[in-house]
Amino acid sequence: MRTRLVRSKLLSSVAEAVGQTPLVRLERAAREAPSVEVYAKLEFANPGGSVKDRAALRMMTRALGDGRLTPDKILIDSTSGNTGVAYSLFGAALGVRVALVMPSNVSKARKDIARAFGTEIIFSDPMEGSDGAIRKARDLVAKDPEKYFYPDQYSNPDNPLAHYFGTAAEILDQVGDRITHFVAGIGTSGTIVGTSRRLHEHTRPIRCVAVEPADPLHGLEGLKHLPSSLVPAIHDGSAYDETMRVTTEDGWDMSDRLAREEAMHVGHSAGAAVFAAIAIAKRLHAEQKGGCVVAIVPDRGDRYFAPMKWEKRYLW
Ligand SMILES: Cc1ncc(COP(=O)(O)O)c(C=O)c1O
């Protein structure tokens, strides 16, 4: 087995370990489309465990570079998910203080992981959900703009640019001219917009497909149902070619299959993206067109485990 050079490099900070994630062929899960190559880009291999490391690191380093973020300021945001973990990790790596606003009822695991890196947690009203956390973060920044740096991943151009310069360039390096389709879920839309923009500059046509939950109320954490959501300012529908809508059930089932058939225990947004990628591959196979489909796997499934009562008896 060939050893990846990047893993044998000596790094001076964990921040340098972001990117150069593996691309793995899905032989078993995509066996119904044997004439088509289907690949999963394993973003859980980033040090914070998700695709959001790329955007968070670029938003922080660019702001440090041009003075929007200085050592006396506190980075503040309203995310308890993967972006929050990424801010917390790079806050510790880069010596930046981080505060996250979250509804007080988010899981203990979410609070603990952020606190482990020294992040301060500010609680918002649990009845107001994530919108309440956004409002509280914005209020705090408005009251004391000198104290805080608010990266705002939904409108920060460095979010898609992290994928334009990183994710897309790596995919072209890894599969080169063979790639025919790219698939990624939409959360902030940074991944699909940034990666698609770069892939569309390639000399060969590459079809870029966004994945959205089929329903407004869904269980595909990390993904947004755009028709019923506030559309992020960085979203640009002209950057990609098509939207596929995937049900929660299909996303969850594919996550289960990926664990059993490909030894990849992934989150449900990954299940949805791979479900769409395999649907495309089956169509290409049936039309005898061949092809090479790359899907983004944003994170690992264990992020969605919560300790259960019966486990506690054994743990403590
Ligand atoms: C698990 C998961 N999947 C997918 C996404 C979507 O990525 P993006 O925000 O780049 O659209 C996110 C973003 O938060 C995520 O956390």
pLDDT for 164-183, tens place per residue?
Answer: 999 999 999 999 889 999 99
Q: What integer pLDDT is reported at residue 314 of this predicted model?
A: 44
CB of 160 closer than 6 angstroms to any ligand 1 atom: no
302-311, pLDDT tens digit by residue? 888 765 544 4
Q: What are phi and psi of 129, to 5 degrees?
A: 60, -155
117-145, pLDDT tens digit by residue? 999 999 999 888 777 888 999 999 999 99
77-106, pLDDT tens digit by residue? 988 789 999 999 999 999 999 999 998 888
230-288, pLDDT tens digit by residue? 889 999 999 999 999 999 999 999 999 999 999 999 999 999 999 999 999 999 999 99
Looking at the CA of residue 160, tell me the nearest atom of ligand 1. Answer: 10
Of 21, 42, 52, the residue with max ligand 1 atoms within 8 A of its CB, to mutate for a pocket test, comes to 52
CB of 156 closer than 6 angstroms to any ligand 1 atom: no
Residue nearest to atom 2 of ligand 1 (CA): 222
Mean pLDDT, rounded, of the chain? 92
Span from the CA of 40 to the centroid of ligand 1 (angstroms): 15
CB of 196 closer than 6 angstroms to any ligand 1 atom: no
Span from the CA of 221 to the centroid of ligand 1 (angstroms): 8
CB of 298 closer than 6 angstroms to any ligand 1 atom: yes
Per-residue confidence band for 316, with pLDDT thresholds at 50, 70 and 90: very low
Span from the CA of 188 to the centroid of ligand 1 (angstroms): 7
Q: Is the pLDDT of residue 14 over 90?
A: yes
Per-residue confidence band for 9, with pLDDT thresholds at 50, 70 and 90: confident
Q: What integer pLDDT is reported at residue 147 of this predicted model?
A: 96
Residue nearest to atom 14 of ligand 1 (CA): 222
DSSP states along the chain: -PPPGGGGS--SSGGGGSS---EEE-TTTTTT-TTEEEEEEEGGGSTTSBTHHHHHHHHHHHHHHHTSS-TTSEEEE---SHHHHHHHHHHHHHT-EEEEEEETTS-HHHHHHHHHTT-EEEEE-GGGHHHHHHHHHHHHHHH-TTTEE---TTT-THHHHHIIIIIHHHHHHHHGGG--EEEEE-SSSHHHHHHHHHHHTSSS--EEEEEEESSSS---TT---GGGSPPPTT--GGGSSEEEEE-HHHHHHHHHHHHHHHS--B-HHHHHHHHHHHHHHHHHHHTT--EEEEEEE-BBGGGG----HHHHHHH-
Q: What integer pLDDT is reported at residue 7 of this predicted model?
A: 64
Span from the CA of 222 to the centroid of ligand 1 (angstroms): 5
Q: Is the pLDDT of residue 1 over 60?
A: no
Of 21, 41, 42, 50, the residue with max ligand 1 atoms within 8 A of its CB, to mutate for a pocket test, comes to 50
> Which pTM was predicted?
0.93
Q: Is the pLDDT of residue 223 over 90?
A: yes
